Structure 1
Amino acid sequence: MRRRKFIQYAGLGGVGFLLVPHNRLLASALPESELRKDIRLDSFDFNVTTVDQFGQIKQTKKHTAKYFPASLNAAEQLEMVAIAPGRFAMGASPTESQAKRHEFPRHRVKLPAFFMSKTPITQSQWAVIAALPAVKQELDPAPSHFTGSDRPVESVSWLDAVEFCDRLSQYTGRQYQLPSEAQWEYACRSGTGTAFNTGATITSELAEYVGTYAYQAEATGNHRQSTMPVGRFSANAFGLYDMHGNVWEWCADSWHKSYRGAPKDDQAWVSQQHAQCRTIRGGSWLNAPAEIRSASRSGYLEKSLNRTIGFRVITTI
């Protein structure tokens, strides 16, 4: 019997553009001279697929991104992808289909460079860090409902995710944390201004969600009814995988019912009034396509667990 009880999902709720040409090497804008001397960037190639409103492939294009591997042990590493600085319009477009009130008002945000984990944290990565000494609380080494070393860890609370970041920071000597909402959406969009980073719509060949529902005029697809191994679907233009669907991802921000008063930079929007409820982004395997849009957002209690919620981490340069 698992020591923690699954809590049924009940979100509180979910387009912008970068001022960087979409077809250039986005990560090349990183000021590498400002990187810590213990960081050496490597490169990787990947394909980015975009579709039209009918779900038909418009193009599959090869991209290159930079990253550094953070070693967790002899067998496990965390690949941290370089995200270039830039500006974008955060939130839903007024013309975006099925946009929600809490995705407005759309507002300009400017962000410095940072690194984000290529995928959501996996169960094997979680297990390594969960075995390290506690910083503030204990961690279940195997909390997930859907088991698999390369599947995203889920059924972890916001507080668990923060403890993971604290242990990872202590172990590596580099500060890791949950992304702010602004960092998350900027990274998800990766230069796009459409509802999804795949284009006007998305298909179940490009993400894990309830593909038996359509968002635009695309044909309906599959619903696999569980999380999927990370990195199975096409990456976005930054080289990040699974930003749409698979699992919701915890952000550092408190939950707010609109963007009125939101920061215009990369900082998390934290308020004591809403401290016990945190923002989640990206949608999951249990959501319809409208809930996995780039602008989609919701909230969840920071102490609660859910088999639809995981996380990824960021670190600054």
Structure 2
Amino acid sequence: MKSTKRLQILGLLVLCLHLVAGAAETSVPVTTISLPGGVSLDLVTIPSGEFMMGSDAPGWSDTDEVPVHKVTFAKPFEMGKFEVTQRQWIAVMGKWPGNPPGECNGAGDSYPAYGISWTDIAGANGFIEKLNEHVKSTKQGPATFRLPSEAEWEYACRAGSSTPFFFGNTDCEPNSCTTCSLSNYAWFCGNNSGGCGSPTHGSKPVGGKLPNAFGLFDMYGNVREWCQDMSHTSYDGAPTDGSAWITPDATVRVLRGGYWNDLPSASSRRFASYNGPDARNFSFGFRVVRAP
């Protein structure tokens, strides 16, 4: 009898946990954009507010992340709930700009689109342009999609937190590929470092880990994400209104977040990498924002 009661109590606890988790996710407002072929693109609203951008935390920061500075967002904006998927890319573009995703690094409708350059996304006749044309012609709200600014990306990733990771302090070592609390939120070298053909290799279907408080998935690992901004050696002179930092004499663009085989230090919300606008790599992907 006691054993039966314990099982009943355990079952109720599990059910409650599922209900709480489901309520937490569904409480985040979602706007769905209908793409060609019955494909959908989900957006979540990122509230207005302010945050301290950058980091000077020992072991979790670099010289290009200082000085730490306040950034203020006067208006809310929308951001892709997930990284743009391979199915969404084909729905909008119809074909891949280069080699299509392969099985080794993750291939399938729900896997992130990767191997695409900044120009493929934000250049003439790129994904953003085609997406805005579709949204305008189908009257699905403002046709103001673009890549996020670096400040928008970090603000959305932090989701109100001030720690190296949005879920709080971590037991992860910055430069160690071991299983740690990050495993619940990201694909990185601690849980995804097998060889090609292994189930622990390559990108994974989007949304497979826990989201942050804004309802965004895969901000830490899966693929690195292109931003609007040009690269800079520090945050001296960076905009404080959340806009992209564009300088006429620069060409290299910013990517934020880590990818599926990065170290924890490269997967945290502060990590940035840089590449030329025409570079394509298996670790490069993106998500979109829609400005007011």
Give the equivalent residue in structure 2 for 1:182.
151
Residue in structure 2 matching 1:95, options 53, 57, 64: 57
CA offset digits 1:225-283 (Å, max 9, x no partner): 21010001000000000000100000000111111110001211011221x21000011
Q: Aligned pair in 2 of structure 1 residues 98, 141: CA closer, same or farther (>3 Å)? A: closer
Counterparts of residues 215-254 of structure 1 (less than 5 Å):
221-223=191-193, 224-254=200-230
Pairs within 5 Å for 1:253-272: 253-272=229-248
**Residue deviations 1:158-210, cap 9 Å, x none?**
00111101110011111210000000000000011110112222422321011
Give the letter for the 1:107 counterpart: H
Q: Aligned runs of 1:160-309 on 2, under 5 Å? A: 160-162=120-122, 163-173=126-136, 174-201=143-170, 202-211=181-190, 221-223=191-193, 224-274=200-250, 276-309=251-284
**CA gap 1:246/1:181 in 2 versus in 1, 3 angstroms:** same
Pair 1:156-2:116 in alignment:
yes
Secondary structure of the 1:62 match is helix
Contact (CA 8 Å) 1:119, 1:240: kept in 2 or not? yes
Structure 1 pair 150/88, CA: closer, same or farther in 2 (3 Å)? same
- Deviation (angstroms), 1:106: 0.5
Rounded to whole Å, the distance in 2 between the matches of 1:306 and 1:141 is 10
Change (3 A) 1:295 1:85: same
CA contact (8 A) 1:157 1:303 kept: yes
- TM-score normalised to the size of structure 1? 0.73
Q: SS at the partner of 2:155? A: helix
Q: Tell me which protein shows more helix as a share of its residues.
A: 2
**Residue of structure 2 in register with 1:105 after alignment:** 67
User: Which one-letter code corresponds to 1:170 in the other structure?
Assistant: E
Aligned partners of 2:192 and 2:202 also within 8 Å = no
Q: Which amino acid aligns with 2:130?
A: R
**Any stretches of 5+ residues in structure 1 without a counterpart?**
1-44, 49-60, 132-137, 212-220
Letter in 2 for 1:195: P
State the distance in 2 between where 1:206 and 1:239 align.
12
Measured in 2, the distance between the counterparts of 1:263 and 1:273 equals 17
Tell me by how many angstroms 1:222 deviates: 4.6
The answer to whether the aligner puts 1:144 opposite 2:101 as a matched pair is yes
CA distance in 2, matches of 1:239, 1:159: 28
SS at match of 2:127: helix
Q: TM-score, normalised by structure 2?
A: 0.79
Identity of aligned residues (%): 35
Aligned to 2:93: 130
- CA shift, 1:75, in A, is 2.2
Residue type at the aligned position of 2:120: D
1:90/1:234 CA distance change after superposition, 3 Å? same
Distance 1:47 1:244, change over 3 A: farther
SS in 2 for 1:273: coil
Task: Give the gaps of 5 or more residues in structure 2.
Answer: 1-18, 137-142, 171-180, 194-199
Q: What is the distance in 1 between the residues matched to 2:42 and 2:86?
A: 15
Which of 78, 84, 87 is matched with 2:47 structurally? 84
Partner secondary structure for residue 51 of structure 2: strand
Cα deviation for residue 74 of structure 1 reads: 4.5
More strand by share: 1
The equivalent of 1:69 in structure 2 is 32
Name which one, 1 or 2, has greater alpha-carbon Rg.
2
